[in-house]
Structure 1
Amino acid sequence: MGKPNGTHNYFVYILTNKRKTVLYTGMTNDLVDRLYYHNNPSPNSKSFTAKYNCKFLIYWERFQLVDHAIQREKEIKCWRREKKVALINSFNPEWNFLNEEVG
């Protein structure tokens, strides 16, 4: 059946580790659920976020169309760290961990 038009939510997000030295960009249609899995990886997970302990949300954007979210995720992933830092600073200048704010 799906959701009615206009109620779709897709998120592009950036996670970091506790020391804020690693950045991970991802895309999901359920940010709360995705954060749960980043914070509770399977014991033998070889994922980037598990390896580098990236589980702290520091940036996110919402989109209604999946194509726009995918395009934005690809765009951000191609950026150098300095440009990602500027984006994060414009949204979250203190680099506060936002996990609880979206939950």
Structure 2
Amino acid sequence: MKRSIEPYVYLLASRRNGTLYLGVTSNLMQLVAQHRTETFGGFTAEHGVKLLVWFEQHATMEHAILREKQIKKWRRAWKLDLIEQANPDWQDLAVSLGFAPLD
């Protein structure tokens, strides 16, 4: 059985206006779970980057990767604007996907 790929570009944050992490994934739910449990270690674990504050689904992985590369070139202020346009209160969007709220 072929696994369905659901390409997403996402932004995680440590807190409002905190450390940001931009990435791309084919499985948003699994990715969020891994970041919340610090399975990856590294940058996101060191900086407490666990809040899903923005995400965008794409039709293909190629489109998602292009969008991620585009946003990576942006100034920080533009990324903050992107988040605040869709999520002005910096809510943890993972909760709306069924995850328990973080402490």
Task: Please give the TM-score of this superposition, normalised by the length of structure 2.
Answer: 0.85
Pairwise CA distance, 1:9:
1.4
Would you say how many aligned residue pairs link Structure 1 and Structure 2?
98
Where in structure 1 are there 5+ consecutive unaligned residues?
none
1:68 partnered with 2:63: yes
RMSD value, Cα: 1.8
| CA deviation profile, 1:12-45 (whole Å, cap 9, x unmatched) | 0000003541111011111110011001124x92
Matched residue, 1:99: 94
Match of 2:55, as an amino acid? W
* Aligned 8 A contact 1:10 1:29 in 2: yes
Query: Which stretches of structure 1, 4 residues or more, deviate above 3 A after TM superposition?
Result: none
Matched residue, 1:89: 84
How many Å separate the matches in 2 of 1:19 and 1:8?
A: 30
* Aligned 8 A contact 1:8 1:64 in 2: no
Where in structure 2 are there 5+ consecutive unaligned residues?
99-103
How many Å separate the matches in 1 of 2:43 and 2:72?
A: 14
Q: Secondary structure at the match of 1:37?
A: helix
* Aligned 8 A contact 1:31 1:102 in 2: no
Point out the structure with max Rg over C-alpha: 1
Matched residue, 2:101: none
